Amino acid sequence: MSARDLALALVVVAIWGVNFAIIAIGLRDVSPLGLGVARFVLASLPLVFFVRRPAIPLRLLATYSVFIFVLQFAFLFTGMKVGMSAGLSSLILQLQVFFTIGLAVFILGEKPTGWQVAGALLAFSGIAVVAAHAGGDVTLAGLGLLILGAASWGAGNIAARKIAVQAPGMNTLALVAWGSLLAIVPLLAIAAVLDPRGLVSSVEHLNWHSAGAIAYIVYLSTLFAFAVWNRLLGAYPVATVAPFTLLVPVFGFLGSYVLLGEPIQGWKLMASALVIAGLCVNLFGSRMARRLGAAPRP
């Protein structure tokens, strides 16, 4: 990877990590579902007038939109609102890796490796540490919603994999824009049923802080970061690019500490170490085992 692309990869994961603190700032004056609606309105308009809809069945595009955008962010934003710190949210959402693997087993018929199972057990032991410290800025309801958000992301990844098979070389920015457009109506419907007052209040109490947070979420975290990330995935092997996401919780905790003053207690470091270790075992376990097996013995 060139120095320029290495720098871009680090910029992207930094943007994604800090994004959780920005979400927390936005949620001070905007309801969770209101923030979701604003995100996808601005991420899709006016972009959809300049990029063609991806040449895939509408049903598949809608499935991708519902899981990746509607459910993931409805659970994420609501979970952070009802009780989950920004730093821990950035960590817990990385469980999407293991939900993706589990769903691939049941839906695509893939077989998990022993390393993937071991990594999942290690990562979920870190989530148990978080659950054991519920209280204050962490609630069991918030934790549960974040886990559902990670599961939704995993389901969306399966839809994205099917899309990639049907339309190789597709314009991924178009997928983000049109998927965002399809997310608007379901989110509005959910908000109208569950929190109509919150939706109205979001408009009434919109200020420079919440508007700036929405702009960051839409233009940096969604459009810019996804466009750069997808370009890197097209230029390098997935195994080279994907491990950079391990740094998202690192930037998530740093961002929440600097921007929100969230304390980083020892138990948070322990939970982070377990989850990140589980992710590392999942990504590199079999590769390291092969290298050790191939190493010359004294």
Q: What share of the chain is helix, strand, coil (3-state, %, to 5)?
A: 85, 0, 15
pLDDT of res. 101: 82
pLDDT of res. 162: 84
CA–CA gap between residue 251 and residue 240 (Å, rounded): 19
Q: For residues 208 and 148, which has the higher predicted lDDT (pLDDT)?
A: 148
CA–CA gap between residue 2 and residue 6 (Å, rounded): 6
Question: Over the chain, what is the mean pLDDT?
Answer: 85
Residue 50, helix vs strand vs coil: coil
Confidence of residue 199 (pLDDT cuts 50, 70, 90): confident
Instruction: Reply yes or no on whether the pLDDT at 182 is more than 90.
Output: yes
Element (H, E) at 243: none
What are the domain boundaries of the chain?
A: 3-282
CA–CA gap between residue 146 and residue 214 (Å, rounded): 20
Among the listed residues 71, 289, 257, 60, the one whose alpha carbon sits nearest the alpha carbon of residue 164: 60
CA–CA gap between residue 270 and residue 199 (Å, rounded): 38
pLDDT digits (tens, 9 = 90+) for 102-114: 888 888 787 878 8
pLDDT digits (tens, 9 = 90+) for 18-39: 999 999 999 988 889 888 898 8
Instruction: Reply yes or no on whether the pLDDT at 295 is more than 60.
Output: no
The 10 Å Cβ neighbour count of residue 225 is 19
What's the pTM value of the predicted model, to 2 decimals?
A: 0.84
pLDDT of res. 168: 79
pLDDT digits (tens, 9 = 90+) for 59-84: 999 999 999 899 999 999 999 998 88
Confidence of residue 268 (pLDDT cuts 50, 70, 90): confident
Question: How far are the Cα atoms of 60, 110, 129, 163, 236 from residue 100, in angstroms, in the given order?
Answer: 17, 11, 22, 15, 21
CA–CA gap between residue 165 and residue 160 (Å, rounded): 9
